[in-house]
Amino acid sequence: MTMAELRWHPLIKDWVMIASNRQNRPQMPKDWCPFCPGSGKVPDHYDVLKYDNDFPVLSQNAPVPDGIPTDFYKTAESYGKCEVILYSPEHTSSLHQFSLEHIVKIIDLWTERFVELRKDKKIKYIFIFENRGEMVGVTMPHPHGQIYGYPFIPKKLQLELESCKEHYDADGRCLICDMAKDESASGDRVIFENRDFIVFLPFFTEYPYGVYIVSKNHKQNLTQFDGQEKLSLAKALKETTGMFDSLFGFPFPYMMCMHQDPVNSGDFSDYYHFHIEFFPPMRAQNKQKFNASSETGAWAHANPTKPEEKAEELRAAHRRFLSGTAGTNEGK
């Protein structure tokens, strides 16, 4: 019997999503892909596509939570929306292999879905993300990302919002604007930039290769970007993911997480700021960066590398990607 509900975690004041149906997801099937044309699950012809998740953790037709034996624990319906964003009909392609025009189509679809999902007043946060590689739990290799529409603001995002609000109340400025300006002034951890976005390895990064893509303009979500900004974002995404694959000459695993302002929850425009965070689980070519007891049990992160040195590695990989020499070891 499957179960789908939210359960309140009183120690950390956050919701845990219970979704036993996800145990039934296929695990990297070798001879069939539901996202490829001809599967019967998607159109025979498409460029980019929104596909409703077959194993959602949240649903707009959420069941009534199961009864609980005491009054101590709280539950809520697992209301929300889970979507898959198919980047391409090509089964073996990757984000950096697409043309800029095609990546803009992906950004436009993200934007369309953001607009549509925020019409549902029960949805409070729209989280756009991509998991890449078996190392981070990918179950389908076809190039895709996902969108979750949560009925609450997740704890990490809530903490970010509170930190940004505190900084704004104290100094009258945006925390993420100030962070990007300081990184730019230092330059030690900046990987590259274009007209509208800066890409850097933060001073405080928990992950050896955990780069941020930050808008140079103080904007909160995708709907506020004009055509030139979307093209600049496409360039930043193409070059960042291409840089990753150029680091060690193999498809680089990562989690890509887009942070935008909440929806149906108030006005955050003064102090919150659009950015994308990457969490790659590698610390060297043949070494994985694990979230062990300190990171998981205490939220006390340890980065086993020096960010300034890793930034130089990333700059060299970025140069290799741009020059088409990704198979070489220049700068290593």
The catalytic residue positions are 144
- CA pair distance 67, 85, nearest whole angstrom: 35
Find, among 130, 136, 81, 138, the residue nearest to 106 by Cα.
130
No. of H helices and E strands in the chain? 6, 14
Phi, psi angle pair for 63, to nearest 5°: -75, 160
Phi, psi angle pair for 24, to nearest 5°: -90, 5
Residue 3, CA atoms < 13 Å, CB-side half-sphere: 12
**Tokens standing for residue 226:** 């004009």
Sort residue 331 into left (φ over 0), alpha (ψ -120 to 50) or beta.
left
**Tokens standing for residue 42:** 């998607």
- CA pair distance 85, 147, nearest whole angstrom: 7
DSSP reduced 3-state for 215: strand
**113 neighbors 85 (Cβ within 8 angstroms):** yes
**143 neighbors 240 (Cβ within 8 angstroms):** no
Alpha-carbon Rg of the chain, whole angstroms? 20
